[in-house]
Amino acid sequence: MLPVFSQNNKVFAPNPPLYNQQLIVRYYNAKRGWTSWIDPGKNLLNIRYNNPFNVAATEHKVHEYVLTQIWDAHLVAEQKSTVDSLQNDYLLHDARCLMAQHYFSDMMAKETPRSLFSKLQYKIIFTYPEAFSGKTVSDIKATTTELLFPEMNFIPTHVQGRR
């Protein structure tokens, strides 16, 4: 029997993030090839830094949600197989990755409605800082881990005419 009301108080005590995470994307056009990597989260954060009450703060939460979802999908794919091609095959059909595919397709379609992209690819970058030693931001050494996801089709079916 499941409780009707449940309360997870651990939600009130999140541990500090021990790394910085970015979800970046690039798009493919048959004429121009791949674009450079774009960091949509950074743009949203810059707006939030200037005004914490801006809707961009919520848009960034959605961006982080997409990141955690595809990270979860990646973990499941790793458990299913150690072979890259099989992992990619799983990711191409996973609901979380398909959601990310729509998310990034919609994002570009909103910015440039007449864009002629046919493919997209996204990746997560984790940056782990060294332990605290009183260094300035620019002097802090960090290690980086990248997770590249398979190329997917550009399908802006979820475009929702906002803005």
- Report yes or no: 27 and 34 within 8 Å, Cβ to Cβ: yes
Is residue 99 within the footprint of another protein (CB under 8 A)? Answer: yes
Contacts of 41 (CB under 8 A, 6+ apart): 22, 23, 24, 60, 63, 64, 67
Q: Which two tokens stand for residue 36?
A: 């450079």
Nearer to another protein, 21 or 88 (CB): 21
Is residue 37 within the footprint of another protein (CB under 8 A)? Answer: no
Is residue 26 within the footprint of another protein (CB under 8 A)? Answer: no
Is residue 21 within the footprint of another protein (CB under 8 A)? Answer: yes
Tell me the site size for another protein, rule CB under 8 A.
Answer: 52
Question: Considering the complex, what minimum distance in angstroms separates the CB of residue 4 from another protein?
Answer: 5
Question: Considering the complex, what minimum distance in angstroms separates the CB of residue 48 from another protein?
Answer: 5
Nearer to another protein, 83 or 95 (CB): 95
Is residue 11 within the footprint of another protein (CB under 8 A)? Answer: yes
Scan residues 109-128 and list those touching another protein (CB under 8 A): none
HSE (side-chain half, CA atoms, 13 Å) at 131? 0
Q: CA gyration radius for the chain?
A: 18
Pairing of strands 119-129, 152-153: antiparallel
Block residue for tokens 């059909």: 93
Is residue 9 within the footprint of another protein (CB under 8 A)? Answer: yes
- Report yes or no: 149 and 91 within 8 Å, Cβ to Cβ: yes
Is residue 131 within the footprint of another protein (CB under 8 A)? Answer: yes
Distance from C-alpha of 41 to C-alpha of 56, rounded to nearest angstrom: 10
Binding site for another protein (CB under 8 A): 2, 4, 7, 9-22, 41-42, 45, 48-49, 52-53, 55, 57-62, 64-66, 69, 95-96, 99, 102-103, 129, 131-132, 134-137, 140, 158, 160, 162-163
